[in-house]
Chain A
Amino acid sequence: MIPNSQETMTSIRPNTPSTATEQAPQRMASGHSVEVDALQAYYGNHQAVKNFSIAFAANEVTAIIGPSGSGKSTVVRCINRMHEEISGARAEGTVMLDKVNVYDPRVDVTAVRRVIGMVFQKPNPFPTMSIFDNVAAGLKLTGWRGDDLRGRVDQSLRGVGLWDEVEDRLNTPGTALSGGQQQRLCIARAIAVEPEVILMDEPCSALDPVATLRIEELIDELKARYTIVIVTHNMQQAARVADTTAFMLDGELIEHGPTTKMFTKPEDERTERYVTGKFG
């Protein structure tokens, strides 16, 4: 059934067991699969993504690697329909979140972005907001109507391992945190609305090695509850965090397979040449 706009908010979460959510302190294994089929993405006349098809398995981390300009970021921005926000940009094809095509014209874009959250390259807490309000803002902006805002914020901060570090300064500005803490704050903001999928576009590229490792540990913890897609230039990061890895080149998906296989015996010669640094 294609949902009407009123039904969209629930229809786009087809299998989330709400009673289990209420009973369990943390949701377990509730991520959903995402299937992208024949995705084409354009910036004006330039085609950035060409006939891209892939299945992101539920509760797995999938890394997308490839040289600059290969279309990695465009793909993830298409998954939660942020690509179309750029002037002159458009996308074709289907992105199925379980049984729902997020490109169905009757699907509410806001609902899509709540269910498919995004973490960006540079930590982007709202500069004028406190730590608490930064997390709460994610809920408010998506029309959350619950009655335990404080509890939800606390839970989100605990979910990213930030609670112990900020519990005594929740009213200080989010920008006062370190870079790594700010990125975890942004992830807390993303998970506060209980998405099914988290997209991460180079989430560690602005962080130091220790903060990077902390985020990578967090990704490993979060995958029990969410389906995660991470774009990264850091191939070792892909090797460390991802269950499967996809290699893109010139807008096309060249190869997608188990990460260990991609980094020990890739099938495609172009993947081999890229991961071994024979071209860049």
Chain B
Amino acid sequence: MQYEVRHNFREALKTLEQQALGGLDIVIRQLDRALEAISYQDVELASMVVADDDQVDGRYLEVHQGVLSLLATQTPVATDLRLVAALLHIIRCIERIGDQCVNMAKLVPLSGHEQPKDKDILDAIERMGRLAHSQLAQSKETFAGRNVDLANDLVRQDAEINQLNRAIFRRAVDIGDEVEMREWAMLMVLVARALERIGDNTVDIAEQVVFVVTGLFRELADASHPVPERTDPAPA
């Protein structure tokens, strides 16, 4: 009686997971282009990021429909049910990550061509961007491999993004009296906030990996009980 059945269902579930994880590839590309547009004040590239958000939204709708279809026609249970529920959750995270890339891109035209810049903030933004990219790539690897250790490591990485976000905020507060510099710093605070939210979404994906593997939902990073803020100096 050890023959396997439900081949079609299993193939459909596999395809759905690939579609969802493929969404992470799309938002990684969106993130890279948004960061490049910010670095080089590239308004045209920023507009492409905004336009290409349709791809992310389209992927969301495909996976959402696929999940509904599997629930309606295949009534998955046990590991399969947890996976389907997780796919619905992570595709929502991916869609929100796409929105954060759009939020960053929309700030590019507002910052102008010759804005004064603060090297400390720029360095911190660049570091946050690298971390966000790394976390997105790792969240895909984590999910595909059902790797709980990598999931926990994502929380560690996310802590650094959070620290940088707070540091940028403090630096922006102390940036000085020059109006143009303050405006630019406020825009960078918004960019940092978007990157911080992207990091949070990768942690959400990591939590779904733990759920799929263990059947238990565990908040890896508890936003309602944050670790007390360190009094690190602003980035040098």
Contact = CB atoms under 8 A, between A and B. Distances in A.
Contact of A263 (B2, B6, B9, B77): B77
Interface stretch (B26-34, B79-87, B131-139): B79-87
Interface in A225-242: 235-236, 239
B5 A265 contact: no
B4 A278 contact: yes
A235 B3 CA distance: 18
Contacts of A236: 75
A234 to B, nearest CB: 10
Indicate the member of B5, B78, B80 with the most A CB atoms within 10 Å: B78
A260 to B, nearest CB: 10
Contact of A276 (B1, B3, B79, B215): B79
Nearest to A277: B6
B109 interface: no
Contacts of A67: 1
Given A264-B82, A264-B215, A265-B215, A280 B77 contact: no
A266 interface: yes
Interface in A42-91: 67
Nearest to B211: A265
A38 B105 CA distance: 69
A9 interface: no
B76 interface: yes
A108 interface: no
Contact of B76 (A265, A266, A276, A279): A276
B78 A263 contact: yes
A276 B76 CA distance: 7
A20 B76 CA distance: 45
Contact of B80 (A235, A276, A279): A276
B1 A239 contact: no
Contacts of A264: 77-78, 81-82, 215
Contact of A265 (B1, B9, B75, B78): B78
Interface string B1-33: 111111001000000000000000000000000
Given A263-B81, A265-B82, A265-B215, A280 B76 contact: no
Interface in A260-280: 263-266, 271-272, 275-280
A265 B211 CA distance: 10
A272 B78 contact: yes
A271 B215 CA distance: 15
B64 to A, nearest CB: 21
A266 B5 CA distance: 19
A263 B79 CA distance: 9
Contact of B78 (A275, A279, A280): A275
Contact of A278 (B5, B76, B215): B5
A239 B77 contact: yes
Given A236-B75, A264-B215, A265-B215, A280 B81 contact: no
A10 B82 CA distance: 49
B77 A235 contact: yes
Interface in B42-83: 75-82
Contacts of B79: 272, 276
A266 B78 CA distance: 7
Nearest to A70: B1
Given A239-B77, A272-B78, A279 B2 contact: yes
Given A264-B215, A265-B82, A276 B77 contact: yes
A277 B81 contact: no
A274 B157 CA distance: 39
28 contacts: A67-B1, A235-B77, A236-B75, A239-B77, A263-B81, A264-B77, A264-B82, A264-B215, A265-B214, A265-B215, A266-B78, A272-B78, A275-B77, A276-B6, A276-B77, A276-B79, A276-B80, A277-B4, A277-B5, A277-B6, A277-B9, A278-B5, A278-B6, A279-B1, A279-B2, A279-B5, A280-B1, A280-B3
Interface of B: 1-6, 9, 75-82, 214-215
10 A-B pairs with the lowest CB-CB distances in the bound complex, closest first: A265-B215, A277-B6, A263-B77, A280-B5, A275-B77, A277-B5, A276-B78, A272-B78, A276-B80, A279-B2
Given A263-B78, A276-B77, A276-B79, 6 more contacts: A265-B78, A272-B78, A278-B5, A278-B6, A279-B2, A280-B1
